[in-house]
Structure 1
Amino acid sequence: MENEVDTRSYRLISGIFHPDEATQLLMTLIEDKISFHQRKDWSRRERFGETDTEGVKRIGELRQTKADLAAVIKEAAAAGMKLTINGNIEITLTPE
């Protein structure tokens, strides 16, 4: 696989959700990602005495995304609407 790029896609989320279901699904996903970066930062600080700057930045971005999504879900709930959610994961394998 030398000098080749291999890209694969996977459907992670696909469906129509009531606002309460969308909240549970999306907030759990985002919280898990935030927790991942927090653990990674903690580990780096314990082992090397330095902050995982990229991870801390990503936590801030995820928190903003969480707030934005909460607002959209609240809007949908107030209007009696459902939410269509599609989320794909794309993984590219590249040589080191």
Structure 2
Amino acid sequence: MNETEKIVLIDGTFLCKEAKEILTSVLTTKINFHQMKNFSSHELFGKDDVIAKKRIPALKKEMQKVQSILQKAEEKNKHLIISSEIKIALTDNLDA
């Protein structure tokens, strides 16, 4: 594996309905992941997962941005170009 690998997750032009399905699915999945992580932390350790507690509101804010963009696109009868790349690198540090 190189220092950093890149994976193309999303790359294309989408109708508003398609873009909404894709983007809300990705963000909802991430929100649910952090909610479950926080729930597990409560069950196992009796305290919040600090990272999850920070990420949940940040992701919800991003969801609001997406909804605003989608609304503008619908009003203007536009399609959306979406590209998303995931970068993966190895590390010894959890906070990297």
Q: Is this a same-fold pair by TM over 0.5?
A: yes
CA distance in 1 between counterparts of 2:24 and 2:57 reads 15
Query: Residue 64 of structure 2 aligns to which amino acid in structure 1?
Result: A
Q: Report matched runs for 1:74-93 at 5 Å.
A: 74-93=71-90
Larger radius of gyration: 1
Contact 1:37–1:55 at 8 Å: present in 2 too? yes
Task: State the number of aligned residues.
Answer: 93
Report the alpha carbon displacement of residue 6 of structure 1 after superposing the two structures with TM.
1.8
Q: Report matched runs for 1:15-26 at 5 Å.
A: 15-26=12-23
**Matched residues, percent identical?**
33
Match of 2:50 in 1: 53
State the secondary structure of the residue aligned to 2:67: helix
Match of 1:70 in 2: 67
**TM-score (normalizing by structure 1):** 0.92
Report the alpha carbon displacement of residue 93 of structure 1 after superposing the two structures with TM.
0.9
Q: Structure 2: give runs of 5+ residues left out of the alignment.
A: none
The alignment yields a C-alpha RMSD, in angstroms, of: 1.5
Deviations 1:3-36 (A, max 9, x none): xx72100000000001111000000100000000
Q: Structure 1: give runs of 5+ residues left out of the alignment.
A: none
**TM-score (normalizing by structure 2):** 0.92
State the secondary structure of the residue aligned to 2:9: strand
Where does structure 1 differ by over 3 angstroms across 4 or more consecutive aligned residues?
none
